[in-house]
Amino acid sequence: MKYIFLTDQFYSDYASYTEIEQKATRPYVQLYICVNDIDFAIPFRSNINHPHAFWTDKENRCGLDYSKSVVIEDVCYIDTERKPHIRENEHKALIGKEREVKNGLLKYINDYKQAKESPHKRLKRLVEYSTLQYFEKYIDRL
């Protein structure tokens, strides 16, 4: 597992994708992880108010937000100039947890796929607010 930032080019190329976390004044540290030969970036977020996360500090609602994960379609989207740093307690919470993070992401992807097929409005919101809607050609392979 590796911590990264995404490049300005990524945010430019995906500017119209409204669910992708993008704030010019606040770059999101991402966890870079490969699942079944697909590269993902999962953002660290605070104030997460849904269960689709790997909690690094549950008391403060901080963690990896699976619902805002993106597929890294090109390595040029990884910023190699800036070095991200995360809080020590969050880093410690991730040590040795790569398998759990991957399994959590795969579970979220399966939940997303089931929600797409469901007639229930509550489940449709999972799809509506997920960044996976922009990367379905990749997640269909999982």
pTM: 0.93
Domain boundaries, the chain: 2-139
Confidence tier at 24 by pLDDT (50, 70, 90): low
The CATH-assigned architecture of domain 2-139 is: Roll (3.10)
* Residue 3, amino acid: Y
Give the pLDDT confidence score for residue 27 in this predicted structure. Answer: 78
Cα Rg, the chain, nearest whole Å: 15
What are the φ/ψ torsions at residue 58 (nearest 5 degrees)? -65, -35
Three-class DSSP category at 43 = strand
Confidence tier at 140 by pLDDT (50, 70, 90): confident
Give the pLDDT confidence score for residue 25 in this predicted structure. Answer: 67
Structure tokens given for 117: 């097929």
Q: Is the pLDDT of residue 2 over 90?
A: yes
- CA 7 to CA 10: how far, in whole Å? 5
Q: Where are the alpha helices (DSSP H) in the chain?
A: 8-13, 88-94, 98-117, 121-128, 136-139
